[in-house]
Chain A
Amino acid sequence: MIMRFLRQSWTIAAKDLRSEWRTKEAVNASVSFAVVILLLFSFAFEPTSEQVREIAGGLLWLAFAFAGALILNRSFARELPNDCLDALLASPVSGAALYAGKALANLCLLLAVELLCMPVFGVFYNVPWTEQFWSLLLILVLGTWGLTVIGTMFSALTVNLRLRELMLPMLVYPMMIPGLVGAIQLTSHVIAGQPLAGDVLVWLRLLIGFDIIFTALALALVDYVLVG
């Protein structure tokens, strides 16, 4: 039962990643967009290294959240031409497995975007971000998972809507605030060169709890959205 669920999710995720690998449409657009936002931040304030380290988390996660909306918007919408979504729903894959596969693919794509943006950020703002690479990667994975879980769910929710491109970010960002606050705090902390221990662990717990709650909720409710 569990094995079948995982196998089906993996098939969906592999399909999405393969088609993205062949076109590279979403990732290209998303990375360019994130870089443009990072560039714009340099006009919003005078970037000295000290200051940037303090607000690095906020800058990065705002850029990631904006760039992520591009990928998440397309996640289900790309299945609309040729009625692919109906075909997927008619296939012997449960709605939850379809959702989990899509979320997994989005997680990989978003992480790729983030890892491509980090060196650019490091160079432009003169921030040594590789000092605690593994801690940073853990935060990126947890924060991005929160963004993808909610984003993929709302991508399914809004797939048939008018103004889909507008609705998704408007619904996702307020919902994401607890996860974003946690990820921003942790990222700033790690980039400032402090170890991931002590008081900040409360944010790690918040982030993990946030991820678990919304993953469970999404898996439980997604069948209502997709199948009816």
Chain B
Amino acid sequence: MRQRVLIGLAAIAAVLFAYNFHTIFLRLPDEASQGAIYRIMYFHVPAAWVAFAGFFVALVASVLFLVRKGLRYDRLAVSVTEVGLAFAAVNLITGMIWGRIIWGIWWTWDWRLTSMLVCWLLYAGYLMLRRAVDEPTQRAKVSAVFSIFAFADVPIVFFSIKWWRTQHPQPVVWGGGSMDPAMMSALFANVIPMLVLAIVLTALRMRQEEMRQEIETLRRLSYAA
């Protein structure tokens, strides 16, 4: 049953992606000032949204774990954090490719880039922390507390670095221009398959984590016997 739902969701994501690719690459024209490269935005922006949605779900799962003590909340937390990190990486990398072509540089310490990088490092730290703990319940507890701290930190990071950067001269300013409605709707349309893809990946990762925990338990049992 679960398998069928997952395959169904993946199929929906694939169909929506195919439709959106057609719109993005064939029907919509190049942007007036940026040319073809602007299309990376259709993946860059939704990736960030999906990543933050993932981190928010990780926060909820972490709180639920501390309150209810069920290891399945821990499985959800780690799976969704990993998927969120992958999408955050997509966001960073597509942003860098865009920056290389439009700005001529791979990286600049603009507040958005810096904040996203800090956010990525925080959640990468979460995964590192997990690897350093062997005992499953303790690992879940420690990483749940860290996840809550990280989520509380993210908005402060964004605001502080924004204030810091606005006091310094910026190498490049990407003003908030308006967007053509057709491009805007294509952007929103691409959020849905990205989100569905993230859900499928999280579910797969959760099942894998469940099996991993089961193997761990069996191994412990065999050692004890």
Residues of chain A whose beta carbon lies under 8 Å from any beta carbon of chain B: 150, 153-154, 157-158, 160-163, 167, 170-171, 174-175, 177-178, 181-182, 185, 199, 202-203, 206, 209-210, 213-214, 217, 221, 224-225, 228
Contact = CB atoms under 8 A, between A and B. Distances in A.
B132 A157 contact: no
B148 A221 contact: yes
A144 to B, nearest CB: 17
B149 A217 contact: yes
Given A161-B132, A214-B152, A228-B141, A174 B125 contact: yes
Interface of B: 66, 118, 121-122, 125, 128-129, 132-134, 138, 141-142, 144-146, 148-150, 152-153, 156-157, 159-161, 163-164, 167
B129 A171 contact: yes
A162 B128 CA distance: 11
B122 A175 contact: yes
Given A154-B146, A175-B150, A224-B145, 12 more contacts: A157-B142, A158-B132, A167-B128, A171-B125, A175-B122, A177-B153, A178-B161, A185-B167, A202-B163, A206-B163, A217-B149, A225-B141
SS class, residues of chain B in contact with chain A: helix
Contacts of A214: 149, 152
A77 to B, nearest CB: 14
Contacts of B163: 202-203, 206
Given A160-B138, A182-B160, A167 B149 contact: no
A163 B156 contact: no
Contact of B146 (A162, A171, A203): A171
Given A162-B132, A171-B125, A178-B157, A224 B149 contact: no
B124 to A, nearest CB: 9
Contact of B121 (A174, A182, A225): A174
Contacts of B148: 217, 221
A170 B160 contact: no
Contacts of B134: 162
B129 A213 contact: no
Question: Which of A153, A157, A170 has most chain B Cβ within 10 Å?
Answer: A157
B149 A153 contact: yes
Contacts of A162: 132, 134
A175 B138 contact: no
B132 A163 contact: yes
27 contacts: A153-B149, A157-B142, A157-B145, A158-B132, A160-B133, A161-B132, A162-B132, A162-B134, A167-B128, A167-B132, A170-B125, A171-B125, A174-B118, A174-B122, A175-B150, A175-B153, A177-B157, A181-B161, A203-B163, A206-B156, A206-B159, A213-B152, A213-B156, A214-B149, A214-B152, A224-B141, A228-B141
